[in-house]
Amino acid sequence: MKLHIVKYPNEVLTTKCNTITKNSKELQKLISDMFDTLLSTTGIGLAAPQVGFDIRLFITYYGNYVKTRKVYINPVITKYDGGIDYMQEGCLSLPGKVYNNVSRYNHIIIEYLNENFEEKVKEYSGYHARLVQHEYDHMKGITLANKLKIKE
């Protein structure tokens, strides 16, 4: 089921998200609904706050030829390095308003639970590292509007 995407400056977008403590049918339904929602857009990532939930969850669906579907529950970026790059970013919660250069680390290591609540550790570089950092910012209540200092 497609969910409504919350638009900036909705308060949930600037709220620090809560840890998910257990797997449940409701969580699995939310993940499924988030993928339905993401796939109905031009986006490649979606965080739970963007659909009105203040929980530590985001998803990505990304790839040039073969799309990779990833679920990140309670993510923690444990290492940032590889220098900083600037690249244009947009956000589904700021439709049509903003595409601007944003600084991000070129390499990260992230720990998270997947949709089966299995512990994972991944290293990402380049564009995928940027994507994960963008969605991870949503867990901390940081939006693209904050990075670009956009006012209501």
Q: Which residues are catalytic?
A: 135
Check residue 22 and report its DSSP letter. -
Q: What's the CA dihedral at 144, 35, 4, 94 to 10 degrees? A: 20
Cβ contact 50:2 at 8 Å: no
Q: What angle do CA 122, 109, 72 make, to 5 degrees?
A: 55
Three-state DSSP string of 72-103: EEEEEEEEEEEEEEEEEECCCCCCCCCCEEEE
CA torsion sign for 74, 76, 82, 83 is positive
